[in-house]
């Protein structure tokens, strides 16, 4: 029988259907053999790199070290996340303050509250790093201490809050009235100053200069919140706060008690450090922009200004309070 010629262009050996240049070991099964052969090292390398190396193509070998680094980093991240699983005493879901309570945060505010026996506390949240920085954690005050992670405090107080790893749930201090005020020293009176940062800074200066009390109105004044306490840096525990309904009547009562009433005004006719007024006195501060209201000005014995040598004659109210207290107490 005449042997059939192979197709044109076929140059392999007779009896074989493998073209010239093709490798029988290029895959796990040789073409036309019907049997499985041992795969070549090149085949194993190619197939492995398809799944292990995310950078495929002509630059796969060049990026192989990067692929190995990525796999090692993923493994370390997994181990790190596994170690950070919360324990029973490091719960992520913290309770906020209950009705009528407030949350103090920051080392100065919390240390001052813990050192004030008149402040009733309920829960102390503290991180492991912040605990050694607390001056003293009393054990006879009946509140609970809970160790937490910093991210748990972030969720409780807000990510922008500078809590320094500590927060304390407390009740407001007992109120003080004008009748409880001794006729001595300096009293600060705020006429509708609403910014908690300004009031907190004024409280801090008041504590530094030994002010006897801070008088605010029930309306148009900031609530005693954590923001104010953090800015006051612990002064909330040292300066009594008196809330009044009518500031004009309050100034009338202070005058009857023997207090000189000085209204701080950038356009006042008197210079503050030139007055001969001595304590007991009440220094009255107005809101930025509006200043002292008409009835408030009428109830003051003196309207005085700060004698500033520069081109700007007015200051932030908290800065003006600090300078005025220094002039009145250190002269």
Digit-coded pLDDT (tens) for 19-45? 444 444 444 454 445 555 666 766 666
Average pLDDT over residues 126-135: 88
Residue 114: count other Cβ atoms within 10 Å of its Cβ.
23
| Bond prior to 280 in cis (omega within 30° of 0) | yes
- Given pLDDT bands bounded at 50, 70 and 90, which one contains residue 52? low
Whether the Cβ atoms of residue 28 and residue 37 lie closer than 8 Å to each other: yes
- Please report, in angstroms and rounded to a whole number, the separation of the first and last CA atoms in the chain: 132
The Cα 170–Cα 180 span in angstroms is: 24
Q: What is the pLDDT of residue 30?
A: 47
> CA-to-CA distance for 273 and 261, rounded, in angstroms?
15
Task: Give the pLDDT confidence score for residue 102 in this predicted structure.
Answer: 86
Give pLDDT, residue 50.
Answer: 53
Of 91, 147, 108, 102, nearest in space to 124 by CA: 147
Give the position of tokens 């200066």: 205
- Burial status of residue 201 (CB atoms within 10 A of its CB: 0-12, 13-18, 19 or more): buried
Of 316 and 37, more confident: 316
The residue written with tokens 């306490």 in the block is 229
Q: What is the distance of C-alpha 267 from the center of its chain?
A: 38
* Other beta carbons within 10 Å of 112: 22
Residue 218 has pLDDT above 80, yes or no: yes
Average pLDDT, the chain: 79
In this structure, the chain runs to a length of 331
Structure token pair of residue 299 = 């109830």
- Nearest-angstrom CA–CA distance, 158 and 147: 18
pLDDT (0 to 100) of residue 204: 94
Q: What is the residue-wise DSSP string for 103-136?
A: EEESHHHHHHHHT-TTS-EEEEEE-TTTGGGSS-
Tokens coding 35: 């049997």
Lowest-pLDDT choice from 11-25, 233-247, 260-274, 313-327: 11-25
d(CA 247, CA 16): 110
Rounded Cα distance between 300 and 248, Å, is 10
Q: Would you call 285 helix, strand, or coil by DSSP?
A: strand
What does the pLDDT read at residue 81?
A: 42
Convert the pLDDT of each residue in 69-114 to its tens digit: 665 665 555 444 433 333 334 444 566 666 678 889 889 999 999 9
Query: For residue range 287-300, what is the model confidence (pLDDT) as tens digits?
Result: 888 889 999 999 99
Please state the rounded mean pLDDT for residues 109-135: 89
Q: What pLDDT is attached to residue 138?
A: 82
Q: Specify which of 4-13, 221-230, 257-266 reaches the highest per-range mean pLDDT.
A: 257-266
Q: CA angle 200-201-203, nearest 5°?
A: 65
Question: What's the pLDDT at 26?
Answer: 47
Calculate mean pLDDT across residues 118-139.
88
Compute the distance between CA of residue 144 and CA of residue 152 in angstroms, rounded to an integer: 17
Assess whether pLDDT exceeds 70 at residue 158. Answer: yes
Whether the predicted pLDDT of 224 surpasses 80: no
- Domains of the chain plus CATH, in order, are 102-170 (3.30.1330.30), 178-330 (3.40.1280.10)
Percent over 90 (pLDDT), the chain:
35
Q: Tell me the Cα Rg of the chain.
A: 39
pLDDT at 236 over 50: yes
Report the distance separating Cα 162 and Cα 230, nearest Å.
9
């Amino acid at each position: 029988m005449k042997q059939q010629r192979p197709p044109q262009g076929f140059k392999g050996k007779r009896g074989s259907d493998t073209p010239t240049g093709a490798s029988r070991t290029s895959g796990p099964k040789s073409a036309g053999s019907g049997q499985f052969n041992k795969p070549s090292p090149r085949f194993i390398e190619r197939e492995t790199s398809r799944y292990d190396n995310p950078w495929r193509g002509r630059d796969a070998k060049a990026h192989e070290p990067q692929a190995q680094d990525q796999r090692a980093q993923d493994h370390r991240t997994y181990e790190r996340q596994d170690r950070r699983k919360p324990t029973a005493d490091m719960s992520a879901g913290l309770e906020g303050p209950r009705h009528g309570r407030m949350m103090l945060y920051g080392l100065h505010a919390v240390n001052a509250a813990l050192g004030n026996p008149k402040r009733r506390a309920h829960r102390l949240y503290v991180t492991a790093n912040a605990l050694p920085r607390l001056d003293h954690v009393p054990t006879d005050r009946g509140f609970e201490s809970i160790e937490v992670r910093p991210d748990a405090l972030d969720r409780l107080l807000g990510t922008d809050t500078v809590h320094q790893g500590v927060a304390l749930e407390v009740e407001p201090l007992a109120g003080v009235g004008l009748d409880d005020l001794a006729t001595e020293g300096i009293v600060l009176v705020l006429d509708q100053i609403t910014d908690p940062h300004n009031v907190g800074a004024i409280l801090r200066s008041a504590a530094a200069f030994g002010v006897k009390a801070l008088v605010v109105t029930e309306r148009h004044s900031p609530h005693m919140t954590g923001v104010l306490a953090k800015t006051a840096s612990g002064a909330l525990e040292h300066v009594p706060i008196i809330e009044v309904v009518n500031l004009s009547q309050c100034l009338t009562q202070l005058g009857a008690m023997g207090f000189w009433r000085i209204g701080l005004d950038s356009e006042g006719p008197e210079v503050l450090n030139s007055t001969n007024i001595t304590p007991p006195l009440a220094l009255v501060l107005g809101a930025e922009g509006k200043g002292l209201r008409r009835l408030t000005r009428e109830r003051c014995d003196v309207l005085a200004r700060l004698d500033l040598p520069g081109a700007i004659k007015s200051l932030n109210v908290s800065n003006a309070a600090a300078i005025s207290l220094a002039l009145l107490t250190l002269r």
